[in-house]
Structure 1
Amino acid sequence: MQGPAVFMDISLEDQAQELRKYFKSLGAEISEEKSPKGIEDDLHKIVGVCDVCFKEPNESEIEAILNSIVSIMVSIPLERGENLILAFSQRLTKAPGPKLGMVSLQSLWRLYNNLEENSPLRYHVYYHVIELAARVGSVREVFTGVDQLRKEFATCPPSNEQMQKLYRLLHQVLKDQNSELAAKVMIELLGTYTDENASYAREDAIKCIVTALADPNTYLLDPLLSLKPVRFLEGELIHDLLNIFVSEKLSSYQTFYKNHKEFVHSQGLNHEQNIKKMRILSFMQMAESNPEISFDEIISELQIEEKDVEAFIIEVLKTRLVRARMDQAARTVRVASTMHRTFGRAQWLALRTVLQAWRANVQQAHEAMKSVATAQLEYANQQPKA
C-alpha cells in the first residue's frame, strides 16, 4: 500500500488530509475530511492514530509516514504544537519490536533536530529519544557524553529538576552498557544538588558510590568525597566503604567485609571484584613511596600467591595507573611513576614544586637563547658591509 509522499509541495492542510486518508485505509478510526477547526485539530486526530502505520509491512513506508507527520508538526508555531509534539513522542516510544523501534527512533531524532534551539520542547523530545534508544540498544548513537549533553541544551537549558530526571534515566540505561559513562552521568547528577537540597539526594548518592566501586575501570574515587550529597552520607556504611577504596589498604576492606558481608552483597557489589580493585589500589599506594617493591612485599601486603605475582603486576600495568618495570631475576618491581589515589594538600604542594622548577628552567632557557641571539646580532653588526 502506498502512503503519501514526504515533504510534498502542497499545503499543510492538504498533507494532513492525505495522511487522514492513509490512516483510514489502514482501518484507523479517523475521518478522511479536513477538520473545520484547522490544521492543529487535523494533526491531533492524526497523532491519535499514527501508531496504526506499524501494521505496514514496509519499514521505509512507515518511516515516510512518520516523517510526513514530523514535517507538518515542525511547521506549526510552538505555542500551538506543544501538546501534539509530546503526544507524538510518547506514541513513538511504544513502537513494538526492535525494527519498528529503530524506525520510530529515527523519526523522533529528526523531530528533535528540527525544533528550534530555543524551544523548551527539545528537552521532552530528547528524553523520549533516550527512552526509545535504550529499548533498541542505540543510546550511544544519540548520547556520547555529558559535555555533548550540555551543548545540546546550551541555548535553552532545562530546569534543575528536568536535568536530574534526565541524568537518572541516562544512568539507568547506561549502567549495564558502559559503567564508566554511567558513573560520570551520576556524578553530574549529584553536582546538580545544592547545600539546601543535598540531603534529599541520598539514593542518588548511594547509586553513584556503588556504580563507581563496581566499575572495573574506575580507580580514582577521591573526587566523590567532595560531592555534597555524598558528604551527607558520612557515618553510614556506604561512606565508610568508599573511604576504604579512597585511601585504605586491602586489609581494611577485608575487615569491613568480614563485619558487613550482608551489606556489601545487598548493594549488588561483587566481593571478588572488590578484592581485585583493592589490590590494585593498595599497590598504587605502595608505589607512591617505594621506587622499588619486592615480590615478597607484594605477596605479604596484597595476599597474593607467589605464582600469581607476575600476572598481577601485568594487570596493574595494563591500567596505566602505574608505570614500572618488572625484574623477574631480582624479584622486584621498579616504579617510574604512579597516579595518586588521593590528591590532597601534600600532592598540591608537590605539584607546585614541580611547576616552579619547570618555570625556572624555562626562564633559564629563555635567557640563554636571548644571550645567544644578542651575541649573533652584535657579531653581524661588526662585520664589514659588502
Structure 2
Amino acid sequence: MATIVNTTEEEPMLAVVRSTAQLAWADAGPEVADPEVARLCAEAQQHLLAARWLDMATLMLASADLLLLSPSAPDKDLECTLTVTCNLVTKAGSEDEALEIAKLICAKLTHHPADKTTLRIKVLFSLYNLLPSLSGKALVYRKALELAATAGKAAADCVVPTFKNIDAFVAYWGIGKPEQRELFLAVTRILKDHKGMTKDYFKFLNKYLATFDGSGDDADAIGAAKEEAAAAIVEFVKSSDLYQCDLLDMPAVAQLEKDDKYQPVYELLKIFLTQRLESYLAFQTANSTLLQGYGLVHEECITKMRLMSLLDLSGHCSGEIPYSAITKALEINDDEVEYWIVKAISSKILDCKVDQLNQLVIVSRHTVKVFGMPQWQSLRSKLGVWRGNIANAINTIQANKVTEDGGQGMQGLMIR
C-alpha cells in the first residue's frame, strides 16, 4: 500500500489538480491557461473545505487520461497522481461514499486498458488495501482481473500469484454465487493462455461451473456456461495429469447432453469416465473432424484412454487383474502389459504388484475416475467399519489390562 508523504507546502490533492490542469492547458498559451488553472484550483479548494470527496475525485480524475495515454508521461508522476486520488477513500464520510469514489477510479483505470496496464493494476491493488468495505475490495479485485485479462503476460503475472488465495478471499468478502461466478470466470480468462497453468485453468473452470446448481435464477443463467463447460471437458481429455473429475455431476455440464453443438463433446466425456478404449475408437471414427477442431490429438487420446481403461478394470476387479483382461481392454499385446502398468504407476494413478508367474496384476490402490455420491457413501461405510474395529481393539486392550491388574492384586494379597 502506497503512503503519501507531503514534500511541499501545498495540499497533495490541490497539487495534483494544479499539475494536471497545467498539463491539460499547456498548449493554450498563458493568457488562456492561467485563468483555467486558477479556476480548477479554486474549485478543488472549495471541495476540500466542504469535504466533498466524491466531487474532488471527479475533478482529480478529469485530466488523468493525459497521463494514462501519454507515452512520454513519467510513470512516477502518474502513480503519484493516482495514489493521491486513491487516498480519498480513506477520507470519505461513509463506506458508500468510499465505494462510489472507488468506482470512479476503477472506471478511469479500466478505460483504454492497453496503455500502462501493469501500473494500472498496481494502483488498483493499492486502492484495494485502502478501501474499508469488503464489497468494495471484491469489486476492485475483480476489476484488476478484468484489466489483466485484456493485456499480455506481464499484466497477468501481476495477478496470478494471488490466485492461491482466492478461496480465502471469497470467504473474507462474503460474496454470493453470482459474484463468485464472475470472479472465477475472470480468473479462467487469464489462465487460459498462461503457460504452465493448465491444472489451475481446469481447477477454476470447475469452480465456475460448480456455481450453477440448475435451480432458481441459475436456470436462466446456466445457458451462458456452455462454452466453459465444453472447454473443461476438452481440458480434461487433453491433460496427461488428470484422471479424475466430477464434471458429469454438474448441471452446467449435463445441459450439453441435449445441446446440438456440444452433445458430441459431452459424449466424449462420458466415454472417458464410464467406458473403455473400444468405445473411444468407435467415437473417433465418427467424429475425427470434431476432435481435431478442439485441438485433441488422436494418439494422445488413445494413450490416456488406455490408462483410463486400466483404472476402470481396477475398479471392477476384486484386487487382481489377469493379463488377458488388460490386453483385451487396452487392445495391446501380452508383452506390452507391464509397460502400461509401469506407466500407470509413474502417473501415480495406480499402486500394484505384478505376479509374472501367474500373469496377474495385484492392485492395492487406484484412482477413482468419478468421485461422486456413491463413492462418498462407500468411503463413509469403510470409515464406519474402521471406527468399529478400532473401538473393538480398544475394548479388548482395556479388558486385558483389567484382567492383568486383577491378577496382580490377588498375588499381592496372597503374599501378605
TM-score band by shorter chain is 0.7 to 0.9
Matched with 2:347 is 319
Determine if the alignment matches structure 1 residue 17 to structure 2 residue 45. no
2:139 to 109, 124, 129: 124
What is the distance in 1 between the residues matched to 2:189 and 2:299?
Answer: 24
Q: 1:69 to 1:379 in 2, by over 3 A?
A: farther
1:247 to 245, 258, 274: 274
1:272 to 296, 299, 310: 299
Matched with 1:286 is 313
What is the distance in 2 between the residues matched to 1:241 and 1:344?
Answer: 19
What is the distance in 2 between the residues matched to 1:61 and 1:321?
Answer: 55
Amino acid at match of 2:244: L
1:1-386 equivalence runs, <5 A: 6-8=3-5, 14-24=11-21, 26-27=23-24, 31=37, 33-35=41-43, 36-38=46-48, 39-53=53-67, 55=71, 59=75, 62-77=78-93, 78-93=95-110, 94=112, 96=114, 100-118=116-134, 120-134=135-149, 135=151, 136-138=155-157, 139-144=159-164, 146-154=166-174, 157-158=175-176, 160-177=177-194, 178-193=197-212, 194-196=214-216, 197-198=218-219, 200-202=221-223, 203=226, 204-221=228-245, 223-235=246-258, 236-288=263-315, 289=317, 291-293=319-321, 297-304=325-332, 310-326=338-354, 333-343=361-371, 347=375, 350-351=378-379, 354-375=382-403, 377-378=405-406, 383=412
Q: 1:283 to 1:176 in 2, by over 3 A?
A: farther
- Residue 241 of structure 2: SS of its match in structure 1? coil
- Residue 164 of structure 2: SS of its match in structure 1? coil
Please report how far the alpha carbon of residue 287 of structure 1 lies from its aligned counterpart in structure 2 after TM superposition: 2.1
Please report how far the alpha carbon of residue 148 of structure 1 lies from its aligned counterpart in structure 2 after TM superposition: 2.6
CA RMSD of aligned residues (A): 3.7
Matched with 2:31 is none
Contact 1:316 1:322 in 2 (8 A): yes
Please report how far the alpha carbon of residue 283 of structure 1 lies from its aligned counterpart in structure 2 after TM superposition: 0.8
Q: Under a length normalisation based on structure 2, what TM-score does the superposition of the two structures give?
A: 0.75
What is the distance in 1 between the residues matched to 2:67 and 2:278?
Answer: 62
Q: 1:349 to 1:165 in 2, by over 3 A?
A: closer
Please report how far the alpha carbon of residue 42 of structure 1 lies from its aligned counterpart in structure 2 after TM superposition: 2.8
Contact 2:170 2:180 in 1 (8 A): no
Amino acid at match of 1:70: C
What is the distance in 2 between the residues matched to 1:291 and 1:205?
Answer: 35
Q: 1:242 to 1:362 in 2, by over 3 A?
A: same
Q: Under a length normalisation based on structure 1, what TM-score does the superposition of the two structures give?
A: 0.80
Contact 2:89 2:130 in 1 (8 A): no
Query: Structure 1, residues 298-336: CA drift from partner, whole Å, max 9, x if none?
Result: 444323467765554333213322112356788764322
Deviates more, 1:35-44 or 1:294-303: 294-303
Please report how far the alpha carbon of residue 281 of structure 1 lies from its aligned counterpart in structure 2 after TM superposition: 0.6
Amino acid at match of 1:287: S
- Residue 353 of structure 2: SS of its match in structure 1? strand
What is the distance in 2 between the residues matched to 1:150 and 1:71?
Answer: 25
Q: How many residues align?
A: 375
Deviates more, 1:121-130 or 1:246-255: 121-130
Contact 1:248 1:282 in 2 (8 A): yes
Query: Structure 1, residues 253-291: CA drift from partner, whole Å, max 9, x if none?
Result: 110111122333334433333222211110111223164
- Residue 208 of structure 1: SS of its match in structure 2? helix
What is the distance in 1 between the residues matched to 2:160 and 2:219?
Answer: 30
The share of aligned pairs that are identical, in percent, is: 22
Query: Structure 1, residues 10-49: CA drift from partner, whole Å, max 9, x if none?
Result: 99x9221011233345557883614234543332122233
Which structure is larger by alpha-carbon Rg, 1 or 2?
2
What is the distance in 1 between the residues matched to 2:142 and 2:166?
Answer: 14
What is the distance in 2 between the residues matched to 1:279 and 1:86?
Answer: 53
Contact 1:51 1:95 in 2 (8 A): no
Please report how far the alpha carbon of residue 245 of structure 1 lies from its aligned counterpart in structure 2 after TM superposition: 1.3
What is the distance in 2 between the residues matched to 1:132 and 1:213?
Answer: 30
Q: 1:7 to 1:355 in 2, by over 3 A?
A: same
Contact 1:145 1:181 in 2 (8 A): no
What is the distance in 2 between the residues matched to 1:261 and 1:161?
Answer: 37
